[in-house]
Amino acid sequence: MEIPSLCTDFHEKLANMPSCNHHLVMNTCSAEKVPPEQLTGQSDISDLQNAETWIFDLDNTLYPASCRLFDQVEKNMTRFIQQLLDCEREEAYSVQKTYFQEHGTTMSGLMKNHGVAPKEFLDFVHKIDLSGVPVDPAIDLALSRLQGRKLIFTNGSTDHADNVTGHLGIRHHFDDVFDIVAANFIPKPARSVYDQLAELHGINPATTVMVEDMAINLEPAAAMGMTTVWVRTDSSWGTKGADGDHIHHIVDDLADWLGRIVSTEPATA
């Protein structure tokens, strides 16, 4: 499948930030976009409609990055490091990004280099204000009609996932949350974590769909045989790895896209 070239020179400041990069974010590269329907052939839809398991990422996938919720988490991380190292904000932010690059997550770097207790870190950074996150009845409806088991697979914590999905009113659609604690603090896209998730839940990759805003996190899923859905983003962070053939479907508005999947489901599905 041919993937359109995307802006990889998005603001340098955003290049290494795991911040808002969701389907509803304003797109500065729209001229290069190809409508999702042109990238998702109708012949592929049957794979989705016959899926037994749906795996959803949480942050910037199940809610729009345009509400900038993850910015709050980012700022809390900086504050945590400031307090831990008793340093200025700029230095703390530098440490945060360095650990993120070198260890996959900031938390992993803090655990290895400073012996930080993960629960303490996760509880601190996930104290966020959800009032700016719009409750979208469309995604609730689409999830209620979507056939198959649904799981959340996040590099965050279960408490965070419960908090956000509870706010959105969609928690009841998901059988389980597989979080960074369940993954022994090894983040996506480490293949071992995907294998662990598959084994824990008896997942058959051939009948599983994974939905994610970070393209690189879909590589292991595709390698296992899952169908992948990339919630397209403009940020370099999210587009990293988006030019590979591990991207099977591209989505700009998840609720709308899921709505179209369920509306065309065969009656026998």
Contact positions vs Mg ion (CB under 5 A): 57, 59-61, 213
CB of 58 to Mg ion, least distance (A): 6
Name the residue nearer to Mg ion (CB basis): 84 or 182. Answer: 182
Taking the complex as a whole, the smallest distance from the CB of residue 188 to Mg ion amounts, in Å, to 9
Residue 129 C-beta: closest distance to Mg ion, Å: 19
Q: How far is the CB of 190 from Mg ion (least distance, A)?
A: 15
Spatial distance between the Cα atoms of 207 and 260, rounded to a whole number of angstroms: 19
Structure tokens at 112: 């290895």
Pick 61 or 228: Cβ nearer Mg ion: 61
The residues, ordered by sequence, that sit 6+ positions from 94 with a Cβ below 8 Å of its Cβ are none
Q: What is the pairing mode between strands 53-56 and 227-231?
A: unpaired
User: What are the φ/ψ torsions at residue 54 (nearest 5 degrees)?
Assistant: -115, 125
Q: What token pair was written down for 49?
A: 């409609």
Write the single-letter amino acid at 101. Answer: Q
φ/ψ (deg, to 5) at 47: -60, -40
Hey, what are 104's tokens? Answer: 């996959």
Q: Which is nearer to Mg ion, 55 or 82 (CB)?
A: 55
The three-class DSSP label of residue 5 is coil
Nearer to Mg ion, 59 or 136 (CB): 59
Q: Which is nearer to Mg ion, 227 or 235 (CB)?
A: 235
Q: Which position has the token pair 């587009």?
A: 239
DSSP state of 27: P
The distance of closest approach from Cβ of residue 57 to Mg ion in the complex, given in angstroms and rounded to an integer, is: 4
